[in-house]
Structure 1
């Protein structure tokens, strides 16, 4: 089957304005410096220092130390409408300017990098394997361009540099610290470099984009014994195996087929020897879904299944279940704004990918619960350069041409949002 996506080598970079194209070498330099110094969640001290240093250099007002290592920069536009004059603005009581937030995450992953590149991670066992170094560079480039072109927009832009997206989640602590207040944010946008899409594409849709994620750990408590005398035991392995199978019926038979969901048992540990029946078995699992109305349903159903199977075998259990992130739900109007901007930046119609949902999760969802907004994917894979490894892979890397495209997307979104 012939791909309908643009060939990365044919991407039309003339759609990126000259000022942003000239910024591309700095974007690459910043990204590579960040890539060499990856830091885990709430430990992004070097990253935050670098971001703050650049913002100070550009005389951009900003706050540091929010939720440990988070930063919020504020840039005020000074574009006058055709109805305004300087005198009018000085003497009249004008409406409070609108505020648009842009969010970028900064943290890395506990992965040993296998890429042999000049900008390889210098921190053993830690790697930017999800593109957050690129997100931070794009946000910096956006801040720089907006500060230099404040005459092109009339509102206030808050750029949120967020820690700990991967774990345990920095969005909620930043919200609790008041990053959406003073001045109050009216809408928010964010992007994710996405190696599931090729360079030159943008994945954007209204409604659910990414899934909610819930987790559970369960210990099955049986009765151990000799492998040749099972009648004297309660085999925790047999109980656990039946639970793993039965859990799949939640999606297959309890969830509306129209609603996508996933229950994955990723860990199962039991036993020490082949002829010993284990008295305990431990499992860990993840649950994913798009429909917010399913919140609380899986928790109840998982425990019902575990309790029923354990009771039928004479076993007991210890269950720990918790919710990590809600689903990423894009606002219809802001998603449409992003889509129209994407049409100006990438080739259409093949460059716009509306069906781009994924069961991966993102704590951008907490921001979107507070204010309307849109999170979108920016294609970053390039098979011609062997830049196709998936996110969280030790050889993950992306086509850095996407950095300038990301800045262009954000800048145009700012200009269009304040012109509505």
Structure 2
């Protein structure tokens, strides 16, 4: 089979892709609690004659041998978990788990990998290299990629490269997008307590007003991007929550803030966090308050391996484009610290069909037909005659 014949061959799987996605859509589960999802995946793969294995509690991996022409193993990853939220998609197969939904396309990601598995099984001898399918839990948090790497599975199967795809509504339906270097931001969450001294609002001189101090501090934080970093730096700092005060006529003795710091460069990330601490010391001196800051570093930036990109870009079909950097976060980044990795976006955006709602929206939805474009990309990568091993 030639690469250009893959698209026609995959039309045979359209109905199954539709069914699989909708079955998975109904059972969203939190990270490391994906037991129903794991059972579904294991059952499907075993039905294909494969021998999947459970890993890191709720994950799954499955090995599919190639024809041995190229002596290497490459991996393809899908995330598995759902999100907290009440679905408002209008689908006739909504989530059966109250307060949970697949609002980030992971049901589609799993479907692509399952259909890819079936294609490989039904076309033995077509793929010149061994394939490892990776179904990873907890992408939304606390992060399943790191324990997946630490499990040793990539050493055990001697994996030389890993590929992943995410559905994105800001990309036109059916278009595959990727680029070399950093494409998804790293993220750090911050939690700040500003501690003052309470008292009656009629006697502010006898108090330390945490609300006034927090207002000045928040205003100062916004200047880190515009006045501390290089103007060419790609970064953001956002305060997402603020909570403080008890009564309208009582000076608040505590204000709590939380937010996120994001960039594509680890040194820039460190610089922003350092500046936040330095500004806090200044506010403490100015107002006589105490500021406590805690940072939770989440995922590093997703950096596509340039050599992998150079080998993959020519084999993708004509419906492709350069991926524009996004300030979202993705724990696929952890794989790139272990082995060469390439992350791609698959477009789901279609205004005529109404598929324009963003990721994590209760209305996020897509046409299942687009999933075969992702499977086709996987097939083209797997069939590539160039070795991915460095």
- Aligned counterpart, 2:95: 121
Give how far 1:78 is off: 1.2
Where do 1:162-241 residues align within 5 Å? 162-241=136-215
The 2-side partners of 1:98 and 1:79 are apart by 8
Give how far 1:128 is off: 0.2
CA contact (8 A) 1:15 1:345 kept: no
The 2-side partners of 1:418 and 1:69 are apart by 34
The 2-side partners of 1:283 and 1:259 are apart by 25
Q: Does 1:144 align with 2:112?
A: no
- Aligned counterpart, 2:48: 58
With normalisation by structure 1, the TM-score equals 0.88
Q: Which residue, 65, 78, 81 being the options, matches 2:67?
A: 78
Give how far 1:18 is off: 2.7
Where do 1:316-335 residues align within 5 Å? 316-335=290-309
SS at match of 1:266: strand
Could you say what the CA RMSD is over the residues aligned between the two structures, in angstroms? 1.6
- Aligned counterpart, 1:68: 57
Where do 1:249-288 residues align within 5 Å? 249-288=223-262
Query: Runs of 5+ in structure 1 lacking a partner?
Result: 1-13, 82-96, 347-351
With over 3 angstroms needed to count, the CA separation of the structure-2 counterparts of 1:355 and 1:105, relative to structure 1, is closer
Q: Give CA deviations for 1:194-237 in whole Å, capped at 9, x if unaligned.
A: 11111132221101110000011010110111222211111001
Give how far 1:339 is off: 2.2
SS at match of 1:150: coil
With over 3 angstroms needed to count, the CA separation of the structure-2 counterparts of 1:181 and 1:80, relative to structure 1, is closer
CA contact (8 A) 1:345 1:405 kept: no
SS at match of 2:84: coil
SS at match of 1:259: coil
Give how far 1:296 is off: 2.6
Give how far 1:102 is off: 0.5
With over 3 angstroms needed to count, the CA separation of the structure-2 counterparts of 1:128 and 1:15, relative to structure 1, is farther
Q: Give CA deviations for 1:72-127 in whole Å, capped at 9, x if unaligned.
A: 1111101548xxxxxxxxxxxxxxx2111101001000010012221111111000
CA contact (8 A) 1:380 1:400 kept: no
The 2-side partners of 1:18 and 1:79 are apart by 26
With over 3 angstroms needed to count, the CA separation of the structure-2 counterparts of 1:303 and 1:413, relative to structure 1, is same
With over 3 angstroms needed to count, the CA separation of the structure-2 counterparts of 1:177 and 1:255, relative to structure 1, is same
Give how far 1:273 is off: 1.7
- Aligned counterpart, 1:387: 355
CA contact (8 A) 2:86 2:362 kept: yes
The 2-side partners of 1:417 and 1:137 are apart by 26
Give how far 1:60 is off: 1.5
Q: Give CA deviations for 1:351-382 in whole Å, capped at 9, x if unaligned.
A: x3314110000000000111112101000121
With over 3 angstroms needed to count, the CA separation of the structure-2 counterparts of 1:371 and 1:166, relative to structure 1, is same
- Aligned counterpart, 1:10: none
Aligned residues: 385
- Aligned counterpart, 2:9: 19
The 1-side partners of 2:122 and 2:318 are apart by 21
With over 3 angstroms needed to count, the CA separation of the structure-2 counterparts of 1:40 and 1:397, relative to structure 1, is same
The 1-side partners of 2:341 and 2:171 are apart by 22
CA contact (8 A) 2:128 2:382 kept: no
SS at match of 1:325: coil
